[in-house]
Amino acid sequence: MWSHSFDTALGRCGVVWSERGIVASLLPDASPARLKRRHPTAELTTELPAHIAHAVDGIRALLAGEARDLSDIALDERGIPEFRRQVHALTRAIPPGQTRTYGEIATALGQPGAARAVGRAEGDNPFPPIVPCHRVMGAGGEPTGFSAPGGVETKRRMLLIEARAVGQLAGDQQKLF
């Protein structure tokens, strides 16, 4: 395994990868020391294979305000339970500028009573923002429970960046009359 940290508009982020794909991505405060603590067997490198450079560029662009789709980035989900993989797949299908609730994800999985389990799966997401768990809200669309540094404020900031990128903020929309 290998790791790399890089600067973004929100701060220093990081990725860890294997020959199969991204093993983990870390939102701001991903110093080389933090990467080493979280993934001690990963070799820190600045030499990136093309598919990892593509992932890093995509994360940077998304966090800089571009409506970037990261669903083509390969993930190495070995060791992740099937339910969480299904949550990841549905979460990756949420386009920039849109949100879903934990309950909506649970219902889409055919388990309408599993909103809390979806919340736990999102909270344990090892792939932010590649798996855009910031686009999943609590009941009533409230931005709750975000485990990245900065918590819910980081979630709100990421949603605001995406809303601007897709022209959803009032100042960015065309006038109706």
Domains of the chain in sequence order: 2-63 (3.30.160.70), 82-165 (1.10.10.10)
Show the tokens assigned to 41: 């067997």
On the CB side of 32, CA atoms within 13 Å amount to 6
Q: Which residue is it, tokens 């030499």?
A: 47
Annotated catalytic residue within 27, 70, 133, 136: 133
Other C-beta atoms lying within 10 Å of the C-beta of residue 113: 9
Stated pTM of the model:
0.83
Q: What is the pLDDT of residues 28-71, one digit of tens each?
A: 876 778 888 888 999 999 999 999 999 999 999 988 888 788 99
Q: What is the pLDDT of residues 15-38, one digit of tens each?
A: 999 999 999 998 887 677 888 888
Please say if 133 is a catalytic residue.
yes
Provide the 3-class DSSP secondary structure of residue 81. Answer: coil
Show the tokens assigned to 132: 């855009």
- From the list 6, 59, 22, 155, the residue with the least C-alpha distance to 14 is 6
Residues 6 or more apart whose Cβ sits within 8 Å of residue 4: 14, 15, 44, 45, 46, 48, 52, 56
